[in-house]
Structure 1
């Protein structure tokens, strides 16, 4: 990039090089560029590229934490909250991730994340997100204890089918405080005890954003790769393209190569097409080339 246009292919080749395939080395590359040339790589990208290709490049060079915070800021500072982006950043994350995100958001925005969320969502969703941001989810290595699972599914039944008008807060507390293995165990135990799946209960008892959040947590716990594949394909729908959402989901997966590989393997069984084939049929130009490079294909 020299102020007279840029070599897009070279830019893709460098930024998606295995040498910079983790956030630390990418951050070092950005620092080295800025200090060596006395410039700002992000500003140079903004001046030399446009559109979805620019969005891709910026999402990558920011690294996962900064990009998460940028996405939250955009999701909460628009006409109507972008719930998809909000949930992408906050749901099914480790406690350490949540603490890092809330701290970086406050540094970046000068405000508490929960305060901004409260201004944008209804009271029930606010209480759910406050549970998420409390960072008290069971750690991944926390065991599945059968009698505790039985207690939880009893509470779930009482809060949904066992009452007139579901108690969304009680259900949210159980879901947001449980790790994936515990949610899977609850789903199996609920089916065994009440002869219905939690999925069907959620779909019957909830609507709108709360239904979306609970189903997302459930699907992620049941089969993360299939859930990721479905979420990656959704923004590529030709009639309802959501490119920024697709870009951020793909870049997020790029930072976890094992998870990206599992998503690619699950993509065709879920969607009927390969991820690379879908990208080639929907995207074009440098944007397409960049997306293919991120998944290790041409």
Structure 2
């Protein structure tokens, strides 16, 4: 939903996959593991370059790099390094598969990915999911979810949001009025109106609808969603509205809450830092600094430790204070 501008991780200049493979093998060979070269290499190479390193590692040593990382590393640091090695095009499909596998569903992951990805990205995720797991993503999601939450996910999965461009002012007025009638003016809520409008209109159109809605109702749409809906549907609708307003701000908020209070939500922290590192992590950093009066770098430093912290700080790519 955003124009991607700035990642913190780019192609490493003077890249030599073979030399990197040799350094990684040396770091993991024999007794004990040297974590420093592993984290330095894997956080400073692009995902495409990491895949080349893995291919050369297998050619040179007849070993699988990811298997070696799993056997030599532990804990959150291992999880982060393995996540960095996942091919970029597979990252979201793997996260979704993991979220709906086994007992219980991780709705947080479904909401985050489906609310924040562009229609083109969603089409790609569906295709990769089909190829990788020989299964239909929509079928898997509908068998694990229910109600209006499921319907909103299905609408997003169609990836048929109107293309950005010309905004029809009459339709802006009409959509804002319909949302007002479906929520604030109605006893109960017409969830289907929210689902259709938020799931199919273009981003630039929706931004104007949100402004018009504020004029008509005196409320931000988020306030209405908060009052009129609940549970997973509420979280999903709010995520869509936030992503329409600003994808980087949405991820900055997710990172802030992942590190707020007692305990850190490391799954969310790793997923966002890895998946956005080549897309818009610099924009996320800027939004984090603006909205929470501290830098993302500072928050990571405070809430993590050891090699895991070092690797996250390198992915973060610098301080904003």
The two structures share one fold, judged by TM-score above 0.5: yes
Match of residue 83 from structure 1: 107
After TM superposition, list the pairs within 5 Å mapping 1:134-149 onto structure 2.
134-139=158-163, 141-149=164-172
Q: How many pairs does the alignment contain?
A: 292
Paired with 1:164 and 1:36, the residues of 2 have a C-alpha distance of: 68
Paired with 2:246 and 2:88, the residues of 1 have a C-alpha distance of: 23
Normalised by the size of structure 2, how large is the TM-score?
A: 0.85
For residue 125 of structure 1, give the secondary structure of its aligned residue in structure 2. helix
Q: Does 1:99 align with 2:123?
A: yes
Higher relative contact order structure (alpha carbons within 8 Å, sequence separation ≥ 6) = 2
Paired with 1:64 and 1:86, the residues of 2 have a C-alpha distance of: 18
Bigger drift between 183-192 and 61-70 goes to 61-70
Match of residue 150 from structure 1: 173
Q: Which of 278, 299, 306 does residue 285 from structure 1 map onto? A: 306
Normalised by the size of structure 1, how large is the TM-score?
A: 0.92
Deviations 1:84-141 (A, max 9, x none): 11122221312221111112112222221111111221122221111111110123x3
Contact residue 64 and residue 255 of structure 1 kept, 8 A: no
Deviations 1:255-280 (A, max 9, x none): 21xx2112112213322321111111
Match of residue 33 from structure 2: 6
For residue 16 of structure 1, give the secondary structure of its aligned residue in structure 2. helix
Match of residue 4 from structure 2: none
Paired with 2:211 and 2:177, the residues of 1 have a C-alpha distance of: 13
Match of residue 121 from structure 1: 145
For residue 173 of structure 1, give the secondary structure of its aligned residue in structure 2. helix
Q: Does 1:263 align with 2:284?
A: yes
Match of residue 77 from structure 2: 53
Q: Aligned in 2, Cα 1:145/1:4: closer, same or farther, shift over 3 Å? A: farther
For residue 153 of structure 1, give the secondary structure of its aligned residue in structure 2. helix
Deviations 1:154-204 (A, max 9, x none): 221222223222121221121111233222111101112232221111111
Match of residue 315 from structure 2: 294
Q: Which runs of 5+ in 2 are unaligned?
A: 1-27
Contact residue 90 and residue 132 of structure 1 kept, 8 A: yes
Paired with 1:90 and 1:57, the residues of 2 have a C-alpha distance of: 24
Contact residue 3 and residue 48 of structure 1 kept, 8 A: no
Paired with 1:194 and 1:248, the residues of 2 have a C-alpha distance of: 37
After TM superposition, list the pairs within 5 Å mapping 1:127-206 onto structure 2.
127-139=151-163, 141-206=164-229
Following TM superposition, the consecutive aligned residue runs of length 4 or more in structure 1 with deviations greater than 4 angstroms are: none
After TM superposition, list the pairs within 5 Å mapping 1:232-251 onto structure 2.
232-251=255-274
Deviation at 1:43, TM superposition (A): 0.8
Instruction: State the superposition RMSD in angstroms.
Output: 1.8
